[in-house]
């Protein structure tokens, strides 16, 4: 079977949608799943999402990116510990979830694609980007430019409220607003095959 590289957009606690997608994708040990971040908040089951992503690492290669929502959570836990509001981080976040989140990456890069949660400065390699651009910058479709690597960028963070992937050729945004009535999107970046499921776990046909 051909090795697949599949990006998955902002899940935001929509665990049923993630279950439906992974069942449809049926990942194998040869596949790579790149999660673009924002696993938590807004939807009904953030812990369930984190448990699923962690478990998937036993089936295939999982590359988890850190979203702005996870950055906020980690910052809040650190502040609570430093101020004495928490004795241990496990009072706020289970240890295995915290370990997972602390291990998430800022970006991922292959020979043909770059992956980030939010955005990028077009003239800088991803390793030189600030966390603001990688995790917080919203896309402006009218002004965004190709990345200097010449590679196709796969991004989330900027919700496509109509539920369709934003495809600019040099950039694809796959945050298709699952928690807000849209879809959770998975995209095989080399072939363009896409899978989508809604918050109830129904696949889009």
Res 1: pLDDT: 56
154-180 exposure pattern, b = at least 16 Cβ within 10 A, e = fewer: bbbbbbbeebbbbeeeebbbbbbbbbe
Q: Name the pLDDT band for 87 (thresholds 50, 70, 90).
A: low
Read off the pLDDT of each residue in 75-98 and give the average, rounded to a whole number.
80
Whole-number Cα distances in Å, 144 to 31, 49, 139, 173, 201: 30, 31, 7, 12, 33
pLDDT at 89 over 70: no
Percent of the chain past pLDDT 90, that is, above it, reads 89
- CA–chain centroid gap for 56, Å, is 14
Residue 117 lies in a domain: yes
Which of 53, 57, 43 lies closest to 19, judged by CA? Answer: 53
pLDDT at 90 over 90: no
Q: What is the CATH number of the domain that holds 85?
A: 3.60.21.10
- Residues 110/149, Cβ–Cβ less than 8 Å: no
Residue 203 lies in a domain: no
* Strand order across the 152-155 sheet: 107-109, 113-116, 152-155, 171-173, 166-167
pTM, 2 dp: 0.95
Residue 204 lies in a domain: no
Q: Name the pLDDT band for 205 (thresholds 50, 70, 90).
A: confident
Res 146: pLDDT: 98
Residue 191: is it exposed, middle or buried by C-beta count within 10 angstroms (0-12/13-18/19+)?
Answer: exposed
Q: Name the pLDDT band for 2 (thresholds 50, 70, 90).
A: confident
Number of domains in the chain: 1
Res 126: pLDDT: 96
- Residues 74/41, Cβ–Cβ less than 8 Å: no
Residue 205 lies in a domain: no
Residue 62: give the domain boundaries.
5-197
Task: Work out the angle at residue 178's Cα, subtended by the Cα atoms of residues 117 and 199, and round it to the nearest 5 degrees.
Answer: 135
Sign, CA dihedral 167-168-169-173, equals: negative
- Residues 68/31, Cβ–Cβ less than 8 Å: no
* Cα–Cα distance for residue pair 71/198, rounded to 1 Å: 25
Residue 202 lies in a domain: no
Residue 179 lies in a domain: yes
Percent of the chain past pLDDT 70, that is, above it, reads 97
Residue 110 lies in a domain: yes
Taken as a whole, the chain contains a residue count of: 205
Res 62: pLDDT: 98
Res 55: pLDDT: 98
């Amino acid at each position: 079977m051909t090795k697949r590289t599949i990006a998955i957009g902002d899940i935001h606690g929509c665990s049923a949608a993630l279950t439906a997608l992974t069942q449809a994708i049926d990942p194998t040990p040869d596949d790579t799943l790149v999660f673009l971040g924002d696993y938590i908040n807004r939807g009904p089951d953030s812990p369930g999402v984190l448990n699923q992503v962690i478990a998937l690492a036993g089936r295939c290669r999982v590359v988890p990116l850190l979203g702005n929502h996870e950055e906020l959570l980690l910052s809040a836990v650190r502040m609570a510990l430093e101020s004495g509001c928490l004795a241990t981080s496990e009072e706020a976040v289970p240890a295995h979830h915290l370990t997972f989140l602390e291990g998430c990456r800022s970006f991922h890069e292959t020979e043909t694609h770059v992956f980030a949660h939010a955005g990028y400065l077009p003239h800088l390699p991803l390793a030189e980007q600030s966390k603001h651009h990688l995790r917080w910058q919203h896309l402006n479709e009218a002004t965004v430019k190709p990345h200097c690597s010449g590679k196709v960028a796969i991004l989330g963070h900027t919700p496509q409220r109509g539920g369709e992937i934003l495809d600019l050729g040099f950039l694809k945004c796959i945050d298709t607003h699952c928690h807000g009535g849209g879809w959770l999107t998975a995209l095989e970046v080399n072939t363009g095959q896409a899978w989508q499921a809604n918050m109830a776990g129904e696949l889009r046909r």
